[in-house]
Structure 1
């Protein structure tokens, strides 16, 4: 190993890893700055992580820290600012550190030698207190960051990344600017405090800043573009961006900058595609995780239970590209079978970025197509010729072009928003390759177009009505010809009559009035091969649909938040293949039928928040394959002695009172684990989630 020798050079703050110049202006970073500063000055962690999506201000914040007087007083000259970027080279970084410190740069044979020499170098530094900033660390560089860890006193590594890296502990997360901070930043870059004659009215400024959505790059770019501009320019900005035009289309500089956020996903095509799928749902609406699971299972071949889909969602969450919101936490949600309470909340700019990512391919080769109720709400990012073509197909002027041939498209995923003004635009296209169809309705009644019969490859149909009252769906018989349709998800939809769909494997119904009660077709005749039935928030359903117990292939039956449901049918014993039975928050449910003992394959039973359930039937002890029981907030429910025969029972999640009953049986169930989680048992959430 070569001896470290002092070179002829000299150390300078302007060297390769000197601290960047102090930002000329910043706002809204004080709270995060204080938090990270305390960790650097007094915290026990050697690695401190700061995360936030691209442009959120991470580099600005750590630069401010390096210029902070207390930080400078502690670390003095031993502050090094290293930009990692996407493909860092360890030997090159160490070489530049040697150069920065004015030492002769050795010729390292490998990374191990380089890192060993770096440790020796750092030990020689005057004062020994060292701060290394590793800026813009990408996911694949985690191991490289670990190599910079040395057992030195007062040695800190400050990492910024677009991704939360679990091994580095809980990160400090930068969020978009609060509105008052965004206003301050905007006024600075728009020069509104100067002696200009063209000062816009305050309400115009408020509208423009709101359009920037709290993202500093957008605020800076738009502010600069409007500075000293005439009032007409300000009004045009508000008009352009308030009527469906994307902020990404307005300014070339912003269009160049923001898509770089997607670069972090280039090495993982599946996650990138899943992120772009988030743009398929309407703006400012919560995206149900269950809808994404249905999509990705068919598009990406993920597992049916949603475990792999949740891994992707959690990855996007950790990368600050999506915010996972759980409407109500319940221990039964953690068994990898149930995500009805999970939603994604997507920042407006990230939604537009997701849509933009979908438009980078040639129009005829795009994986997904988004059609709004007018051309401004449809796909953007098109060149003039493409926009003209799409407009011809989709706009209100289409009635003048009906003699043209229907437009064929190759997209695998189709998202269509329909309101009273534009309920039939998409009926003139032929999406023959589509595997997923998402219909976003704001109409009282909707009828499938005849062209839907030609969607022979369709596997998943997701229909959501965003009006308060259910939307009546007619022409359901057109689905009969879709021999590959495996999944249907309906929310706030009223179906007058179902039809026979032999290929259907999963049916999910949310917030449906009079579900199954008005049709003349038994559910067993309509869906004879159904494997998974999910019924949620059908609040007027008193009994399960007729014929349900004749669907012999059924493996999962989830009936939740159906508060008027009184009992299960006695024939439930016919469901010999049923593996999961979830009845959580059916608050009026009074009993389970004795025949449940014949459901020999049942492995998971959830009766949480069934507050009217007084007891379990004696025959429940015959469920020899039962492994998990969730009965939180079921203090009134008495256990039959036969539960001692549940020899395969592994986990019971329950409240403290119910736990006492199970504790008395543990001697005969030695493998049983009793969990008493802290959960929200307040049922007021019922109304807020369903509205």
Structure 2
């Protein structure tokens, strides 16, 4: 083996600082429009001290600003003078966060649950924001569309960046941006089971970390205000569980987001899950469960249900039609699933349905029920088409009218 030479990255020289700032701060990539703004901009660029992330963040902040007064406020801000000692937060990033609208601040702070180097997906994060009540639907935008707009706003401010490691759908936060998220979230968000406290609202964990943390149940009992309990996974990382963990009932009753996923040794969900009246997001990806308790149909606020890769799953709750606010149902790679519950057409908020199983018996929904699901989009896999009763039944599904499928 040969030693690999260490390359120490140097700060950008002044000319390169200005070129990068100009590219991010001006609509056409040029500062020729206003000499006064250009002069202020050169001083702001110098305050970034040759750090590319700082230059991009502050440039993106100013991109939509044409007011000389606003530019001057940024230049004269006392945040430039704050010490980084003990926080590691760049002044430019503090400024970027300060000028975020309040609705983006809480979405960004929520991302404190992501560890450094964690690659997250846009669609998943939007569903988590939605479950926490951060997204408000309007007459012209669905909650998902609002979330997509918020997400792209954070990308445009260089707080999120596309990952170069995986597919284009993956995003990551720079380590210093991750530090900022954890700093502004304070005690409300954590990516470690070890640091749960009485103020914790959002926590994430890796399933294989259970056995490394003693007294997990005691730690969870402290978190009276816990709203998100989210399982994470790294690409290629093992998820072997060494012991079962019992989540305190008092905590479960307040959750908006519950994610167990593969690696948990849970084989059956308790009937008491039907009492989690605030739950909006349930992810049991890859668990060895054969079915869900019918009490889950009492969760009238449930928006997202993820059951993908539950290889033993052979049935869905019979009263599933009662989940009137369900928007996303993921059941791909559930090869033992025999049929869809009756009255699936009543789930008229449904946007994501990854699979529909046609059964030749009358015990499940017929394919014609798809007609009423007018908001479906994305991919839909229809299994056992040979069981469709008649051409009229197939025609009634009106798949050709679903423009976003």
Decide: shared fold, TM above 0.5.
yes
Q: Does 1:344 align with 2:198?
A: no
- State the match for 2:211 in structure 1: 444
Match for residue 474 of structure 1 among 245, 259, 280? 245
Structure 2 counterpart of 1:491: none
Cα distance in structure 2, aligned partners of 1:273 and 1:309: 12
The aligned counterpart of 2:52 is none
Tell me by how many angstroms 1:613 deviates: 6.3
1:272-291 mapped onto 2 (5 Å cutoff): 272=105, 274-275=107-108, 277-287=110-120, 290=124
Displacement, 1:537? 3.2
Return the structure number with greater relative CO, CA threshold 8 A, min gap 6.
2
Offset of residue 317 of structure 1? 1.7
CA spacing shift, 1:585–1:615, aligned 2, 3 Å: farther
Q: Are 2:404 and 1:577 aligned? A: no
In structure 1, C-alpha distance between the alignment counterparts of 2:59 and 2:32, rounded to whole Å = 8
Q: Report what 2:98 is aligned to.
A: 266
The alpha carbon displacement at 1:60 in A equals 1.1
* Structure label with greater radius of gyration: 1
Deviations 1:279-309 (A, max 9, x none): 54322222465467546864x7434955444
Equivalent pair of 1:516/1:545 in contact (CA under 8 Å): no
CA contact (8 A) 1:567 1:589 kept: yes
**Cα RMSD (Å) of the superposition?**
5.0
SS in 2 for 1:316: helix
Query: Could you tell me whether the CA contact under 8 Å between 1:603 and 1:625 is conserved in 2?
Result: no
Give the SS at the match of 1:553. coil
Aligned partner of 2:228 in structure 1 is 460
Structure 2 CA distance for aligned equivalents of residues 277 and 555 of structure 1: 20
Equivalent in 335, 343, 350 of residue 588 of structure 1: 335
CA shift, 1:444, in A, is 2.0
Shift of 1:350: 3.5
Count of aligned positions = 337
Q: What is the CA distance between 1:481 and its match in structure 2?
A: 3.3
Asked if residue 535 in structure 1 is aligned to residue 284 in structure 2, the reply is: yes
Q: Which secondary structure state, in structure 2, belongs to the residue aligned with residue 558 of structure 1?
A: strand
For residues 307 and 614 of structure 1, what CA distance do their matches in structure 2 show?
A: 34
Alignment of 1:86-485 (within 5 A): 90=34, 92=36, 137-139=59-61, 141-142=63-64, 144=66, 258-270=90-102, 271-272=104-105, 274-275=107-108, 277-287=110-120, 290=124, 294=128, 298=132, 301-303=134-136, 305=143, 307-324=145-162, 343-355=170-182, 358=183, 367-368=185-186, 411-416=187-192, 418=194, 426=195, 431-439=197-205, 442-444=209-211, 446=213, 447-448=215-216, 450=218, 452-464=220-232, 468-470=239-241, 472-476=243-247, 479-482=248-251, 485=254
Q: Is the 8 A contact 2:274 2:295 kept in 1?
A: no
Structure 1 position 644, deviation (Å): 4.2
Distance in 2 (alpha carbons) for counterparts of 1:448 and 1:483: 14
Residue 637 of structure 1 is matched in structure 2 by 385
Structure with the larger strand share: 1
Match of 1:60 among 13, 16, 41: 16
Give the one of 544, 553, 556 matched to 2:300. Answer: 553
Residue number in structure 2 paired with 1:522: 271
Structure 1: 5+ residue runs without aligned partners? 1-26, 28-54, 67-79, 85-89, 97-135, 146-247, 330-341, 359-365, 369-410, 419-425, 489-506, 653-661, 663-671, 677-691
Distance in 2, Cα, partners of 1:544 & 1:576: 16
Change (3 A) 1:316 1:293: same
Q: Is the 8 A contact 1:293 1:306 kept in 2?
A: yes
